[in-house]
Amino acid sequence: MVKGIQMDGLRVIGSVLDIAKDYYSRGIDEIVIIDVVASLYGRDSMAEIIREVTADCFVPVTVGGGIRTLADADILFRAGADKVAINTGAISDPGLIGNIASKYGSQAVVVSIQAKADAALGWECYTESGREPTGISVKAWVSEAESRGAGEFFLTSVDRDGTKKGPDWELVKMVRQLTTIPLISASGIKDADDVARTFVETQCEGVAIGSALHYRAATLEQIRASCRNFEVPVREAED
């Protein structure tokens, strides 16, 4: 598993399978695996990783990174992915969203948005793991992606990703106002309270946690305790 800090300077933090099994055994709700350098593993070895993870982890698994065509998605679904996350592939061919949704259902299509503040556009969509500006505003893209059949948004702030500076609640709140489908806030969590407060502040449907968990700034037990404290409904760990 490779963890990006501000989507650059990638660090290898361990085997995807070991980390997924560890989180699963401690009651993680869902697993998101993003191959940030799509060429790093190659499609076949990514499929093999998904096969291994889904053989042992019986929670939903979302897979993203380098999905450009329906055939790319087919390989990952066949390997066991429940949902695919697409960003660059969807921006360069918005029809891809509908193509995957028609075959697997909208609930299987997660549109990943990498947003960066921009003076002219407000928030601008970035592609290629936050490296390439698109000139497309987040506002316009959210509405287009939803109308084409996206089932969920996975929202990353390029400026906050992996920084543990706390999520950008203004960005999350803005996107939540723009859409009627579930929204996952996916960057900047620094500690357990940040997770609970993100739910309270933004009303988003999910929070994805990367660095904070991987580098042990927060444990799942602490996150659950904090959510209960803030009266955010949270699943109890199974025995």
Q: Interface with another protein by CB under 8 A: which residues?
A: 24, 27, 29-30, 54-55, 58-60, 77-78, 80-82, 104-108, 151-152, 180-182, 205-206, 233, 235-236, 238-239
Least CB distance to another protein at residue 117 (A): 26
Nearer to another protein by Cβ, of 40 and 59: the residue is: 59
Shorter beta-carbon distance to another protein: residue 39 or 58: 58
Give least dist CB 55 to another protein, A: 6
Of residues 80 and 166, the one with the C-beta less far from another protein? 80
Min dist CB 40 to another protein, Å, is 25
3-state secondary structure labels for all residues of the chain = CEEEECCEEEEECCCHHHHHHHHHHCCCCCEEEECCCHHHHHHHHHHHHHHHHHHHCCCCEEEECCCCCHHHHHHHHHHCCCEEEECHHHHHCCHHHHHHHHHHCHHHEEEEEEEEEECCCEEEEEECCCCEEEEEEHHHHHHHHHHCCCCEEEEEECCCCCCCCCCCHHHHHHHHHHCCCCEEECCCCCCHHHHHHHHHHHCCCEECCCHHHHCCCCCHHHHHHHHHHCCCCCCCCCC
- Shortest gap between Cβ of 182 and another protein (angstroms)? 5
Q: Give whichever of 78 and 131 is closer to another protein, judged by the CB atom.
A: 78
Comparing CB distances to another protein, the nearer of 6 and 230 is: 230
Instruction: Compute the distance between CA of residue 208 and CA of residue 62 in angstroms, rounded to an integer.
Output: 11
Residue given tokens 């990514």 in the structure block: 46
- Distance in Å, CB of 128 to another protein, minimum: 27
Q: Considering the complex, state which of residue 80 and residue 133 has its C-beta at the smaller distance from another protein.
A: 80
The least CB distance from residue 65 to another protein, in Å, is: 19
